[in-house]
Chain A
Amino acid sequence: DAGVTQSPTHLIKTRGQQVTLRCSPKSGHDTVSWYQQALGQGPQFIFQYYEEEERQRGNFPDRFSGHQFPNYSSELNVNALLLGDSALYLCARGAKNQPQHFGDGTRLSIL
């Protein structure tokens, strides 16, 4: 058990819609990071939160936004969905410069 729960496990949306994905790390005071993993590819870093602030961001457009709550849980929001947003979205927790513990992700399909 990696101690990271993601919901929902699967989601189907249509182009132009908006989606919110959720992540609940079991323990607190770690960084919480979000990654996008397309089929056959490695995870791509979206952004990272620590102490409720976005600390680092990857090369993703502003359509991707997030939030971290005082209880360390986090949300990833994607607006104006495109077909290319279809992927496995992973959440990871971990202390700085330490191994990351991943959830099993949310599989997002865009029709």
Chain B
Amino acid sequence: SQKIEQNSEALNIQEGKTATLTCNYTNYSPAYLQWYRQDPGRGPVFLLLIRENEKEKRKERLKVTFDTTLKQSLFHITASQPADSATYLCALGSGGYNKLIFGAGTRLAVHP
């Protein structure tokens, strides 16, 4: 069955460092992959979308890579700030309509 794995342990980093989050998947061939941020008690907020024919996407301090051979995406936040502390969700989509399959998320804590 389709499986998405994200770092189950919380990631603690120092302010100013680069945070790197991992998303691995099996038994799936996604047409695109999305990253969302979720704060406690709130709905997910879209950050970046990368398609199967793209290797890398950037937006301000955010960068995502997508390796369909390794079946892995890496999500980077450079110059991290305490305000970046949240849970980050990886989601895969296969085209057609908008059904997304989500990972369980990785909690990021950025310490001053």
Contacts and interface: CB of A to CB of B under 8 A. Distances in A.
Interface in B9-32: 31-32
A44 interface: yes
Interface residues of B, number: 26
B104 A45 contact: no
Given A43-B44, A99-B34, A102-B43, A94 B103 contact: no
Interface string A61-72: 000000000000
B97 A45 contact: no
Contact of B97 (A43, A55, A90): A55
Contacts, number: 73
B97 A2 contact: no
Given A97-B31, A105-B43, A31 B97 contact: yes
B96 A45 contact: no
Contacts of A58: 99
Given A102-B45, A105-B43, A43 B102 contact: yes
A2 B99 contact: no
Interface residues of A, number: 30
A99 B46 contact: yes
A13 to B, nearest CB: 19
16 contacts: A31-B97, A40-B104, A41-B104, A41-B105, A45-B99, A48-B98, A92-B98, A94-B98, A96-B97, A97-B31, A97-B98, A100-B34, A101-B46, A102-B44, A102-B45, A104-B43
Interface of A: 2, 4, 31, 33, 35, 40-45, 48, 50, 55-56, 58, 90, 92, 94, 96-105, 107
Interface of B: 4, 31-32, 34, 36, 41-46, 49, 89, 91, 93, 95-105
Given A48-B99, A103-B43, 18 more contacts: A4-B43, A31-B97, A35-B100, A43-B89, A43-B100, A45-B101, A50-B97, A56-B96, A58-B99, A90-B43, A92-B98, A97-B32, A99-B34, A100-B100, A102-B45, A104-B43, A105-B42, A105-B43
